[in-house]
Amino acid sequence: MTQLSRRLDWFEESKIRKMTRIANKYGAINLSQGFPDFDPPKEIIEELQRAAVEGPHQYAVTWGSQEFREAVARKQERFMGIKINPDENVVVTCGSTEAMMAAMMSICEVGDKVAIFSPFYENYAADTVLCGAVPIYIPLKPPTFDFDRKQLEEAFKQGAKALILCNPSNPIGKVFTREELLDIAQIVTKYDAYVITDEVYEHIVYEPHKHTYFASLPGMFERTISCSSLSKTYSITGWRLGYVIAPKAVIDQCKKVHDFLTVGAAAPLQRAATVGLNFGDDYYKELTKIYTKKRELFLSGLDSIGLKYFRPDGAYYVMVNIEEFGIASDEAFAEKLIKEIGVAAVPGSSFFKEDVNNYIRFHFAKKPETLEAALERLSEIRKHF
Ligand code: GLN
């Protein structure tokens, strides 16, 4: 038989999605793949019901319906503090997963290098492979997950064309400080490179930390491709609505990728979600409050059980240290946790380039009763491990 593409040999099935599959098989409480088990805001659902009856049911404009793009531009102008033209600076995508891919394909030629902080959300490595680029990893060192400025600069000396910046970060919950971002800005300016951001957790940041949009730093709009989505902000991960915000020249490229890859995001969902984009500031304050409570509930539960973890400053994940259990493989640990304890987590190694296997990642985007049930099961952990 003719050889299938070898490019795909570089990666396997997503570990996050795999853990969800195993969790479902064993009926475990799924704290692996990060998505809520509570409903989206009712105003969005009511609009979806209207859209089901009144439409639209046919294609929206390829790069996003006018009303949706205008709403994205208005909302992001407010939060990012920069001018965004809905016709020139926005492409609506099928989730930020497509946004990141479109961003990468828009700037990378085969063989180009891309800098990625490690640990990282697993899609980024796959994205580089899919567009024929080569990743250069820069370690974020525990326990503070700071980066070494020299190591970052080295990646650009080696020719990195872009840096992927997940902020607030999945999986470690790092919120990059303004100073760190200014350091990055200085380096990318010196080496004339781009920054591709993944800012899907932009509204899930815990006091006293603050989210700084990279594109909002002086002079950085021109070299930033900002990717985000509505999944986490409005609890609609299954709707697959995301977007890219960037200078016109980059957006023109992204439009081409998007046009031929997916044609467009679902029209009735764009209509319904526009209602969310038009929410006032109270909605985002309330969201932060809700997640702050979830973080306290889950982390204090882990404290009572005596599990060690890195305290997240943003996003809704926590990396738990499993070293004390003396299991060499975090994957074996995570599978045993599903089967014997009934709680699913993601093996930490799937996020690290380095050989690290003493962490598992939980997420806490769940109802309080789900988190309490998971904690109760986890309290039995020492009887099994
Ligand atoms: N971003 C989420 C996570 O890390 C979900 C990823 C996905 O499956 N699209 O768990």
Q: Report pLDDT digits (tens) over 268-283.
A: 999 999 999 999 999 9
List, in sequence order, the alpha helices (H) in the chain: 15-26, 42-54, 66-80, 95-107, 123-130, 149-157, 178-190, 248-261, 267-277, 281-305, 330-336, 368-378, 381-384
Burial of 86 (0-12, 13-18, 19+ CB in 10 A): buried
Residue given tokens 């180009």 in the structure block: 112
Give the Cα separation of 23 and 1 in Å (integer). Answer: 36
Give the Cα separation of 165 and 220 in Å (integer). Answer: 13
**Residue nearest to ligand 1 atom 3, measured at CA:** 34
Strand, helix or coil at 309?
Answer: strand
Atom index in ligand 1 nearest the CA of residue 32 equals 10
Distance 279 CA to ligand 1 centre (A): 25
The confidence score (pLDDT) of residue 203 equals 98
* Prediction pTM value: 0.97
Distance 268 CA to ligand 1 centre (A): 23
Q: Report pLDDT digits (tens) over 120-176.
A: 999 999 999 999 999 999 999 998 999 999 999 999 999 999 999 999 999 999 999
The confidence score (pLDDT) of residue 328 equals 86
Pocket test for ligand 1, best of 13, 19, 24, 35 (most atoms within 8 A of CB): 35
- Rg of the Cα trace of the chain? 21
Q: Is 197 in the pocket of ligand 1 (CB under 6 A)?
A: no
Of the candidates 363, 379, 377, 376, the one whose C-alpha atom is nearest the C-alpha of residue 170 is 363
Mean pLDDT value across residues 262-273: 97
Is the pLDDT assigned to residue 11 strictly greater than 90?
no
Q: How confident is the model at residue 47 (pLDDT cuts 50, 70, 90)?
A: very high
Pocket test for ligand 1, best of 15, 236, 237 (most atoms within 8 A of CB): 237
Atom index in ligand 1 nearest the CA of residue 14 equals 8
Residue given tokens 């030629």 in the structure block: 109
Q: Is 16 in the pocket of ligand 1 (CB under 6 A)?
A: yes
Q: Report pLDDT digits (tens) over 64-96.
A: 999 999 999 999 999 999 999 999 999 999 999
- For residue 192, count other CB atoms closer than 10 A to its CB: 9
β-bridge mates for residue 113, sequence order: 134, 160
Dihedral over Cα of 361, 367, 372, 374: its sign: negative
The confidence score (pLDDT) of residue 255 equals 97
Which residues have a Cβ under 8 Å from the Cβ of 310 and sit 6 or more positions away?
142, 143, 145, 172, 173, 318, 319
Mean pLDDT value across residues 296-314: 98
Is the pLDDT assigned to residue 12 strictly greater than 90?
no
Of the candidates 201, 265, 271, the one whose C-alpha atom is nearest the C-alpha of residue 232 is 201
Give the Cα separation of 185 and 194 in Å (integer). Answer: 9
Q: Is 308 in the pocket of ligand 1 (CB under 6 A)?
A: no
